[in-house]
Structure 1
Amino acid sequence: MTCTAIGWGSACVGCMPEMNMKAVELPIISHDACQKIFVSPINLTQTMEFCAGYVNGSKGIGSGDSGGPLVCDFEGMMVLAGVTSAIHAKYPESYPAVFTRVAAFTEWLLDTMKSN
């Protein structure tokens, strides 16, 4: 499945954020493939996190995109699947990014919205 990440992150670590919002299509990759890339210090929890992006790719999440959405087309409906959580420290656009799995927090989100 291919999804779209959106954000104002910069093209290099430490650079100023982009002036215009950018979007990039990223494929979801397997937990095992992601785990091999982020061996330490990240300990990925499959039920709460997943990865999307290209291995040694030329496009991906930029520095400063953390907290941004990853939306996926699910049967014709755009669904918020993830929130950008972690990127490769030195080459963020060349490696997959880690996303918080929104579905893991659905109950909490609904309860919080109901009580507020």
Structure 2
Amino acid sequence: MRRDIFQAIADPTRRAIIMLLAVQAMTPNAIAEHFNSSRQAISKHIQVLSECALVSQEHQGREIYYHLNADKMREIEKWIEEFRKLLAKRFEQLDDVLAQLKTKKK
């Protein structure tokens, strides 16, 4: 099942995993050491991140290392930028209304 990127970042544990992987590639065990959750719970979080293509895996010998897919993070950045533009436009409209109200009072 392909998940939406926003489903992945909705969970604080997954956001923390993303932050860890932004610094360096890590094995599931190394990731799990940073949390008070079970190894299986962390694996499920990693699975969700993988399904969204936020992380990719690389086999090095017997170990699997997970890497952050920074390109996929640009989807989030793009959405936030569009939302920021929308809010800026709304605030500009509010400024215009407030300016008109001040003019009418004088």
State the TM-score bracket (shorter-chain normalisation). under 0.3
Q: Give the structure with the larger strand fraction.
A: 1
Structure with the larger helix share: 2
